[in-house]
Homo-oligomer: A and B are copies of this chain.
């Protein structure tokens, strides 16, 4: 007969202490001075092999902010709150992790997206802007990076192109950007006619790329941006938003970028919800349904920029939506 019961398991500390007499065991613990708590998390990187390629997911941290009432355009806030609670989250807090990734293809060292940048580290009291620190902890020298591939022009993907001194964070890398993104965001007519809420993003792109002398290489979809890494059009989140297929020796990893964005699991569970960060809700929805239907059928491993670190998951169909099945952490490589 098992003795496990509600009283023993669910009692809170005070009740448990009151209810239970300390076993003789506890009384004989030697009175060694307690070791102080460490108070520091492990470094935020994780390695995964794709064929002969070495993939390192490197977290930039997590942002937690109040959920705006209009966070999902086609849902009342009550539905959003209920969904967050069902996902074990605070019902009115938007939690977004950031997972840039580094791929060593064997011939090129490639960074895909760059996080919010080191300037954000101090501003967020260390919660964000961790990418360059974690990159160093992962043993990767940013001076050795050959190419930085940008998926789209939101600040959490491009701001990390700059180091703390506002100079190139990857001084020896070619900066590769989607041609459609460049044409859209750097166009002055688009800026002039943009709604007020979007102007900041236009100006931020000018700030970041301007600091780099606007020296970028534009790329198109359905092409290898680097041998072994193919860009795949995944429009909707932004006009030129890209995903990637990293492949080597019959193995493959899909880097989805922001096919689901912000509180991304919300849109995995509810692919028909149109989040405020998606510029074109219906197109973004079509993109994610297509990607997830194909990936579920093929059991493809996907890396989500905004999924919980390390962000490597399978996607399963579940009712009218999807569900993430995280790949198990491998303590060796």
A residues adjacent to B (C-beta < 8 A): 1-6, 8-13, 16-17, 20-26, 28-30, 32, 34-47, 54, 56, 59, 61-62, 87-88, 95, 97, 104-109, 126-127, 130, 138-141, 144, 146-147, 172, 174, 176, 217-228, 230, 232-236, 243, 245, 247-250, 252, 254, 283, 286-287, 290-291, 294, 298-300, 308-310, 314, 325-333
User: Considering the chains assembled together, what is the distance between the CA atoms of A147 and B3 in angstroms?
Assistant: 24
Whether B35 contacts A140 by the Cβ 8 Å rule is yes
CA distance A144 to B33 in the complex (A): 8
Task: Please tell me if the beta carbons of B16 and A39 are within 8 angstroms of each other in the complex.
Answer: no
Q: How far is the CA of A97 from the CA of B328 in the complex (A)?
A: 9
Copies of this protein in the assembly total 2
Q: Give the Cβ gap from A97 to chain B, nearest Cβ, in Å.
A: 7
C-alpha gap A61/B147 in the complex (Å): 34
**A225–B30 touching, CB < 8 Å:** no
Contact assessment for A8 and B230 in the assembled complex, using a CB-CB cutoff below 8 Å: yes
Chain B residues near A141 (CB-CB < 8 A) = 35
Determine how close the nearest CB of chain B comes to the CB of A295; give it in whole angstroms: 8
Asked if A291 and B95 sit within 8 Å, CB to CB, the answer is no
Expressed in whole angstroms, the Cα–Cα distance for A172 and B32 within the complex equals: 8
- Could you say which residues of chain B place their CB within 8 Å of the CB of A29? 108, 146-147, 174, 226
Roughly how many angstroms separate A195 CA and B307 CA in the complex, as a whole number?
48
Q: List 22 A-B contacts (CB under 8 A).
A: A2-B290, A3-B232, A3-B233, A5-B290, A8-B221, A9-B245, A23-B219, A23-B220, A25-B176, A25-B219, A26-B226, A29-B226, A30-B172, A32-B172, A34-B107, A35-B144, A38-B54, A41-B46, A41-B330, A41-B332, A42-B43, A62-B332
Chain B: CB-nearest residue to A245: B9
CA distance A286 to B4 in the complex (A): 9
On whether A325 and B88 interact (CB within 8 A), knowing A4-B234, A222-B20, A223-B26, the answer reads: yes
Assess the A144–B299 pair: CB atoms within 8 A: no
Beta-carbon nearest neighbor of A235 in chain B = B2
